[in-house]
Structure 1
Amino acid sequence: MQYLIGLDLGTTATKAVLFKTDGVIVSTSSKPYKLYRDATGMAEEEFEDIFDAVLASVREVCINIEEGDELLAVSFSAQMHSWIAYDENWEALTRVITWADTRAVHYTEALKASNKAYDIYRKTGTPTHPMAPLSKSLWLKNEKPYIFNRAAHYLDLKGAIFHRLFGVKKMDLSIATGTGLFNIKEKIWDPETLEVTGLLTEQLPEVVSPYEIERGMQEEFAFKMGIPADTPFVWGAGDGPLSNLGVAAIRPGVAAITIGTSGAIRVVTDKPETDVKAKTFTYALDEDHWVVGGPVNSGGDVFRWLRDQVFDGELTFDEITALAKEVGPGAAGLLFHPYLGGERAPLWDANARGSFFGLNYGHTRSHMARSLLEGVMFNLYMVALSLREVAGDVKQIQATGGFTSSKLWTQILSDIFEQPITVPDSTEAGCLAATVMAQKALGLIDSLEAVEGMVGSNQTFMPNEESYETYRALMPIYLRLSSHFSEEYADIAALQRKLSNQ
């Protein structure tokens, strides 16, 4: 037998999945780690925790490989926008600063107020937001000069894993296009953008194809993973673009909607496409496939807040969604804006804050639960409206992520979008997509479209006419509130930061 391993470097866990070459899952292993947060907007991880999770998860799935079988390659999906600074001796100066970190908000807003932000977006395809390494670098420069002035190298999380394993200083094209520093037209680190940040080209890694292969890792790590040291490691791509590939949403007009810790809606184009309103991103899947879409902070993380803070951690996901099902569409007129940790698309405002609107004496925790589920989907629909202006109408939607385990939540998505929602068979879309890229890198397949033979349809949800009539009435109110509240987000966020420091 021949096998491939897809590794997903996620925000809360690293997952390894062992596949046969036809996409059939043999075994999985997931190793969690802590995301460190505080009131300042910090969202960091310990690199050693993640590196240990990589070693352990690969070793665990490799138990299923028998003598005489062959492991063809290990390939990667990774969270985007992470940033790590190193000194000249490759000693880490920071933890992994993740996409969720919002401490750069002040410098992001200042950049937006200048005439530079839009030009940078048009060249890099990454909206100006604290998530991006562009903004993180400005924050380090101004808030942590003792780190910024010592930094000789910068890598993302995946690049740091490869550096530890192989001693290389590289970054794949997909991850590079999400930094806000890389010119997507010229395919170089953008000199004018680097000048804004104070970064030098020599501090940044070589940008390589997602199909780049590394061999000959250190024996120590090969032993800990239980694999040969000459096993090919394929760079792969960012988790967002790979989510489209993993559900076979790579043809024009086919969108992928993913909700895990966070969420996104994306479509694939054959060239970079930017938005005149700068509301959508453009990231590479590979040199010939570009993903246009919008990421949202508000997904499973918001549901966990509901579970822990409103339901006191006493109920499970299924039990809470069962309560939400007890009330009808629209939650009796209760709306929820899910911006608990700021928001990326469609607002691109790290100061955004969450709210329930329309609360009255008749509303219960069940209404709050339903309103939260609906609010996440209303927010995604707002992103879809922006996406339509850039990439045209969405004709088909493939859904993936933890939310699809809830029939209610997936039905709400169908009702709000007024479109059928197909849930593919593959529950490990990112890892599957990574192995498809590995097969192309190894010359085993000619085209990424081979994934269509590996992804079947598990279930299709059809919109309910009675439900979407209600959502049609609520959507304009939701949109107007988003506009009205935006004027107050900066002030309430500043007050919250002040009060949290007292």
Structure 2
Amino acid sequence: MSADTELVIAIDIGTTSTKTLAVGLTGQILGSHSIEYPLHTPSPGYAEQDPDVICEAVIDSVSKVMRNGGFRAQDIRCVAFSSANHSLILLDSKGRPLTPSITWADQRSAAQAERLMNDGSGLSVYSRTGTPIHPMSPLVKLIWLREERPDLFHSAHHFVGIKEYILNKLFGIMIMDHSIASATGLFNLETLTWDKEALILAGIREDQLPRLVPSTECIEGLSRETAERMGLGTDTTFIVGAQDGVLANLGIGAVEDGVLAVTIGTSGAVRTSVSRPTFDAEGKLFCYALTKDHWIVGGPSNNGAIVARWISDRLYPGKPIDEVLPLAGAVPPGSDGLLFLPLLSGERAPFWDAQAKGVMFGLTLAHTEPDMLRAAMEGVLFQITAIVSLMKQAGEKPREVRASGGFARSTIWCQMMADMLGVPVRVPESVESSGLGAAQLGLHAMDGCRGPLLRWKEMEGSLYGPDLTNHKLYQRLLPLYLSLYDRLKEPMREISKLQHASVGCRN
């Protein structure tokens, strides 16, 4: 087999779909296939998925890429994983799920999260694990399950996430990489072991969690049946991989000082690379592992492109979102005096408030649909800008943003971001950042982790420079925007109580 016929298969397990890429050894995408699956939200606060449906999507998407691309098993240098964070599945003694996959978006443990923050134990755990206290965290989910569903909790033999469930189905092993572990709230970043105090808080034992391995761990041993279904060999090497967020930084080259990665898909995040674990005094920024020499600091937002989709569907029903977003270009910065708090799914950074709600502020009879559309788009970016402000307070000095995710296809949204942040925004030719990052990590692992992380060709694509006049306006608006949340925080909590009460009445 010649080197120019080799490729990497990258499997990116996301919240709403799994996308598999075939990636050449110099970074070119040679094929891709995506399979969507539902997020079940039967009642407020729920956000669950069927783990077996996702496992089938992994197998099927690899099969489609292999078959459609005409690739042979012997062409594959390795298969590498990327995965969404914070999922939790309870397993019985035979590895069968006792629960659905409880995703990062599930809000049912909000009361437990608030209690941990109020009694001080939350900040203590954060200072060792780097995972902010929030219902997204498996630690907080475990406490909720122990208190609210003790029948399930005490019958569980193992607690895993979605990638670990799939690896167990494919290989019969129970392992978790350091990167996924660093987002559980249970993993000590200094010792690279399960944190004893966090385990006591959760009420679980170390032997109920997967064995910890580096993100570059190599595994083999697909069953013949599964290998044939996927179009691979039983001896194909798999790289355990990492979480999608840290791999997005790698995929778009944001692993150097002053370069921020901003990803806005369904949700959003801002991340930058540091050489050792770094913590925020208030526990508002995460610190997650990539490799032993690369750690990613930043903040996630619950409310990304899902907000644009929501307002597009309501203001312009039946019209494709790609046709809707450009309409915001006719509205001046500041949306004619409208501010929109896009907190439709509660919020993580910078507020870490599961009970936060959306607010359209400043409406008059003169406002139009495009005004409200632009206000919603600006609101998503105000959240991003507030996270960047936290990172500046922690000592980061951003000089450039690398953008990825669905929003990066919108020229208006990218220009808006450059204006708001006041730094250039670069969009690569391919926005498949997590998948490309997984492929790079896979090749790094196959090379025995010798030398620095693989860096593909210099970043290309579009560059958006900031309009400084617009930037000054946004700098004036940001404190007003943040003060709206501060003033409405308590009313948001009262509304949450009424919403929960009305759900109880319906049930």
TM range (shorter): over 0.9
* Structure 1 residues 440 and 362: CA distance shift in structure 2, 3 A: same
What amino acid is the match of 1:328? P
Q: What CA distance in whole angstroms lies between the structure 2 residues aligned with 1:171 and 1:410?
A: 35
Corresponding residue SS for 2:478: helix
Aligned to 2:304: 299
Q: What CA distance in whole angstroms lies between the structure 2 residues aligned with 1:77 and 1:360?
A: 45
1:230 aligns with 2:242: no
* Structure 1 residues 104 and 445: CA distance shift in structure 2, 3 A: closer
Are the equivalent residues in 2 in contact too, given 1:425–1:455 (CA < 8 A)? no
Are the equivalent residues in 2 in contact too, given 1:336–1:372 (CA < 8 A)? yes
* Cα drift, residue 219 of structure 1: 1.5
Are the equivalent residues in 1 in contact too, given 2:89–2:97 (CA < 8 A)? yes
Are the equivalent residues in 2 in contact too, given 1:215–1:232 (CA < 8 A)? yes
Q: What CA distance in whole angstroms lies between the structure 2 residues aligned with 1:67 and 1:186?
A: 41
Q: What CA distance in whole angstroms lies between the structure 1 residues aligned with 2:73 and 2:355?
A: 56
Aligned to 2:468: 465
What amino acid is the match of 1:272? P
* Structure 1 residues 272 and 445: CA distance shift in structure 2, 3 A: closer
Q: Tell me the matched-pair count.
A: 500
User: Which deviations, in whole Å up to 9, do the C-alpha atoms of 1:108-143 show, x marking residues without a partner?
Assistant: 111111121110010110010000000110111111
Q: For 1:352, which of 348, 351, 356 is the aligned residue? A: 356
What amino acid is the match of 2:379? G
Of 247-256 and 458-467, the range deviating more from structure 2: 458-467
Aligned to 2:252: 247
Runs ≥4 residues deviating over 6 A: none
Q: What CA distance in whole angstroms lies between the structure 2 residues aligned with 1:476 and 1:308?
A: 29
* Cα drift, residue 501 of structure 1: 3.1
Of 177-186 and 418-427, the range deviating more from structure 2: 418-427
Corresponding residue SS for 1:284: strand
Corresponding residue SS for 2:183: coil
Q: What CA distance in whole angstroms lies between the structure 2 residues aligned with 1:52 and 1:339?
A: 33
Aligned to 2:401: 397
Are the equivalent residues in 1 in contact too, given 2:262–2:403 (CA < 8 A)? yes
Are the equivalent residues in 2 in contact too, given 1:426–1:456 (CA < 8 A)? no
1:490 aligns with 2:493: yes
1:111 aligns with 2:84: no
Of 381-390 and 301-310, the range deviating more from structure 2: 301-310
Corresponding residue SS for 1:501: helix
Aligned to 1:378: 382
* Cα drift, residue 67 of structure 1: 5.2
Corresponding residue SS for 1:450: coil
Aligned to 1:196: 201
Q: What CA distance in whole angstroms lies between the structure 1 residues aligned with 2:396 and 2:73?
A: 50
Give 1:97-496 correspondences, 5 Å limit: 97-312=102-317, 314-443=318-447, 446-451=450-455, 453-454=456-457, 456-496=459-499
Identity %: 38
* Cα drift, residue 288 of structure 1: 1.2
Q: What CA distance in whole angstroms lies between the structure 1 residues aligned with 2:406 and 2:44?
A: 28
Of 471-480 and 118-127, the range deviating more from structure 2: 471-480
Q: For 1:10, which of 6, 14, 24 is the aligned residue? A: 14
Q: What CA distance in whole angstroms lies between the structure 2 residues aligned with 1:77 and 1:17?
A: 11
* Structure 1 residues 440 and 158: CA distance shift in structure 2, 3 A: same
What amino acid is the match of 1:285? L
* Cα drift, residue 239 of structure 1: 0.6
Q: What CA distance in whole angstroms lies between the structure 1 residues aligned with 2:232 and 2:401?
A: 38
1:30 aligns with 2:27: no
Corresponding residue SS for 1:37: coil
What amino acid is the match of 1:205? P
Name structure 1 gaps, 5 residues minimum: none
Are the equivalent residues in 2 in contact too, given 1:267–1:391 (CA < 8 A)? no
TM-score (norm 1): 0.97
Are the equivalent residues in 2 in contact too, given 1:47–1:96 (CA < 8 A)? yes
1:41 aligns with 2:45: yes
* Cα drift, residue 473 of structure 1: 2.4
* Cα drift, residue 448 of structure 1: 4.6
Q: What CA distance in whole angstroms lies between the structure 2 residues aligned with 1:189 and 1:90?
A: 21
* Cα drift, residue 455 of structure 1: 5.0
Are the equivalent residues in 1 in contact too, given 2:73–2:233 (CA < 8 A)? no
Are the equivalent residues in 2 in contact too, given 1:248–1:449 (CA < 8 A)? no
* Structure 1 residues 67 and 416: CA distance shift in structure 2, 3 A: closer
Q: What CA distance in whole angstroms lies between the structure 1 residues aligned with 2:166 and 2:406?
A: 26
Corresponding residue SS for 1:240: helix
Corresponding residue SS for 2:346: coil
* Structure 1 residues 350 and 437: CA distance shift in structure 2, 3 A: same
1:51 aligns with 2:55: yes
Name structure 2 gaps, 5 residues minimum: none
TM-score (norm 2): 0.96
User: Which deviations, in whole Å up to 9, do the C-alpha atoms of 1:45-73 show, x marking residues without a partner?
Assistant: 11111111111110111122445951111
Aligned to 2:94: 89
Are the equivalent residues in 2 in contact too, given 1:77–1:239 (CA < 8 A)? yes
Cα-Cα RMSD: 1.4
Q: What CA distance in whole angstroms lies between the structure 2 residues aligned with 1:177 and 1:200?
A: 17
* Structure 1 residues 14 and 415: CA distance shift in structure 2, 3 A: same
User: Which deviations, in whole Å up to 9, do the C-alpha atoms of 1:5-43 show, x marking residues without a partner?
Assistant: 111000000000001111111011000000011333110
Corresponding residue SS for 2:48: strand
* Cα drift, residue 392 of structure 1: 1.8
